[in-house]
Structures are given as structure tokens and as C-alpha cells.
Amino acid sequence: MEKKLQSLVHSAKNEIEKVMTMNQLLDVKAKYLGKKSEFNSFMQGLKDLSSEERPLVGKLINEAKQQISQFLDDKKVEIERKKIDQLLKAQTIDISLPGRAFNLGHKHVLAKTVEEIEDIFVGLGYVVKEGPEVESDKYNFEMLNLPKDHPAREMQDSFYITEELLLRTHTSPVQVRSLLENVDKEPLKIICPGVVYRKDDDDQTHSHQFMQVEALVVDKTTTLADLKGTLLLLARKLFGENRQIRLRPSYFPFTEPSVEVDVSCFKCNGDGCSMCKNTGWIEILGAGMVNNNVLSAAGFDPEIYQGFALGMGVERIAMLKYGIDDIRLLYQNDLRFNSQF
């Protein structure tokens, strides 16, 4: 009996080892442990044994059954693991495929230049101020020492909405508003970036709409020396630490004295080249000490207060910095141009 069981376990083991699929495994299980199995006939035979033999043989049969069950269970685990391995292999992602191109947008070169200028002044403690683009004749001209019949109005011909309303020709009215708001006459340090309009024929270097940044400082002790120091710092931050500046006398109705500011050529270092038209200098902005009439009109006593102001065209700064030769490129939204910066 024992021999018979042993050979049964042995042949079950052999057959289970050869099994490849779940169905085959079920067949083998039925063959060895099912109702019509040899095993079952051993169980049936137990009742014919004596009461001494029955527990001994029963134990042997049980042990054999447990062994066969264990072989079947192990095989089942093995088949399932193989199936998962095959699935994983079939589902691997081919990471050698090129990815899809993703176009990330970025700031326009003009916006970048405005922010760069803002950052320089904010670093010096200035506050950024904005105001309306549709202005009154009073704030845009009269408060800035440009009365109605003044010949200097010719320099800033505008787009009029009514006799009294126009598109601002500079951001100076924003500064006038700040002076008027400042009833306690606190020291003032502001920059005013924004779009301005002038009736002009568009060409390579002119546009009827452009961006300006103006700066204004008013205090009791502000002098031309403060203006020069600020201009030198601005020129070096924008065009390189080795730059020098040069001030030339000029005229603006809202400043006295007025200056035109040049920076030493950053291409030839002042030796003379096509960029600076062989002069070694490049004009970058206009500035001056705030005209007494402007201070008075805004309620600041020029005997007590004085200040400086400067104004620059952002397009001009951007064109110089990035070597752009036509102002119109800045407005055409051509990605071939925009994506270069």
C-alpha cells in the first residue's frame, strides 16, 4: 500500500512538472485527486480495513494527498507568475521614441526691456506708477510748462479725442498726478512706464505709438549731481559696467537745465564704429532738473523743493541692446523675430 502511494505521488510529481497551462493543470488535478482517481479508490478501500490498520493507512493516504496538493499549488503559482512576466514584457513602453515638441511661450523683448529698467529703479527705492493713456490737455501739456500757444508743442503733436482730451504724448502726466496727490510733500521717487502716442510718420526708427519710461525724484536737496550718478548707474546696468556717460545741453520745456545723455559705445568701447557713427557715443535718453514752473504748478515751492527727471524710449533701448535695426519688427508679432529674444 505504501509503495503504491509512493509511486502515485512520484508519477503525479512528474506529470505536474511537465504542465504548461492552467487547463492542463486542472486535468492533472482531476486525474490524481478527482472522483474517478486512483486516489479516491484508495479512500473507498479504507472501510474494508480493520480498525487497527485504518488510522495508519488513512494517515499515509492523507500525507500523499498533501504532497500532491502542494505540487499542484506550486505549479499554479509558477504559471501565474509566468503569465504576468509575459504581460509586462508585451506592455513595455519604447522610451527611444522622440517626444512631442512643446512650444513654451516667453516674454516679448519689449516687455523684458521695460522690466529690466523697472528692476534697476526699484532696486534704488523707486515706486512704479501707472496712469491713463487718454489724458487731459491740462495734465499732458499745461502742467508741464507747455501752455496752449507754446511752440514746443510742435515736438509732441498728438491724437485728439476732443479739444481737451488726447492720447498722452509722454508718461509725464502720471508724474504730475503723483505730485498733486502728494499733499504732504513727502520726498518722491517714482518711475512711470507705459505706452505713449505721437502724431508721427512711421519708419525704421519712428512709431506713432511707443513705450516710455520716465523717472522723477523730488526732494529738498536733490541736485544735478544726483541725476548724473543715477544716469551713470543706469547706463552701466543697461549696457555694461565699463560704460561712461556724457551729458550734452538740450532743451525740454519741463526741465531746466536739460540734457541729452550719451553712453560710450558698447560695441567699440568708444574708439568709433558703425554703431556709434564713428563718434564713440550713443544717445540713450533725455533728462534735466525739474523746471520751477512745473514744481509750482503742482504745488511745490521751488524755493524749497527741487528735483530731477529723465525719460527714455524703451524701443530705442531694446534696439540698441539687442541690435534690432527696425522698430516695426517689435510690433509685427512674427515668431521668427520674437523667438530670438
Provide the binding-site residues for ligand 2NL, judged by CB under 6 A.
172, 175-176, 212, 214, 216, 252, 254-255, 285-288, 290, 294, 309-313
In angstroms, what is the minimal distance from the CB of 324 to ligand 2NL? 17
Q: Distances in Å between the alpha carbon of 294 and those of 89, 127, 138, 218, 302?
A: 81, 20, 12, 11, 9
168/78 Cα distance (integer angstroms)? 83
Q: Is the Cβ of residue 57 or residue 245 nearer to ligand 2NL in the bound state?
A: 245
In angstroms, what is the minimal distance from the CB of 160 to ligand 2NL? 21
In angstroms, what is the minimal distance from the CB of 312 to ligand 2NL? 6
In angstroms, what is the minimal distance from the CB of 210 to ligand 2NL? 8
Q: Is the Cβ of residue 282 or residue 294 nearer to ligand 2NL in the bound state?
A: 294
Q: Is the Cβ of residue 75 or residue 175 nearer to ligand 2NL in the bound state?
A: 175
Q: Is the Cβ of residue 2 or residue 203 nearer to ligand 2NL in the bound state?
A: 203
In angstroms, what is the minimal distance from the CB of 173 to ligand 2NL? 8
Q: Is the Cβ of residue 61 or residue 169 nearer to ligand 2NL in the bound state?
A: 169
In angstroms, what is the minimal distance from the CB of 137 to ligand 2NL? 16
**Closest residue to ligand 2NL using C-beta atoms:** 311
- Amino acid sitting at position 261: V
Strand 188-197 and strand 127-128: pairing? Answer: parallel
In angstroms, what is the minimal distance from the CB of 163 to ligand 2NL? 23
Q: Is the Cβ of residue 71 or residue 252 nearer to ligand 2NL in the bound state?
A: 252
Q: 215, exposed or middle or buried, with CB in 10 Å at 0-12, 13-18, 19+?
A: buried
Q: Is the Cβ of residue 55 or residue 132 nearer to ligand 2NL in the bound state?
A: 132
Q: Is the Cβ of residue 280 or residue 286 nearer to ligand 2NL in the bound state?
A: 286
Closest by CA position to 4, among listed 59, 61, 48, 70:
61
In angstroms, what is the minimal distance from the CB of 311 to ligand 2NL? 2
Three-state DSSP class for residue 67 = helix
Count CA within 13 A, CB hemisphere, residue 250.
Answer: 20
164/173 Cα distance (integer angstroms)? 14
| DSSP collapsed to 3 states, 205-220 | CCCCEEEEEEEEEEEC
CA 122, 127, 235 angle in degrees (round to 5)? 40
**312: β partners:** 213
337/324 Cα distance (integer angstroms)? 10
Residues written for the chain: 341
Three-state DSSP class for residue 234 = helix
Task: Tally Cβ neighbours within 10 Å of residue 178.
Answer: 18
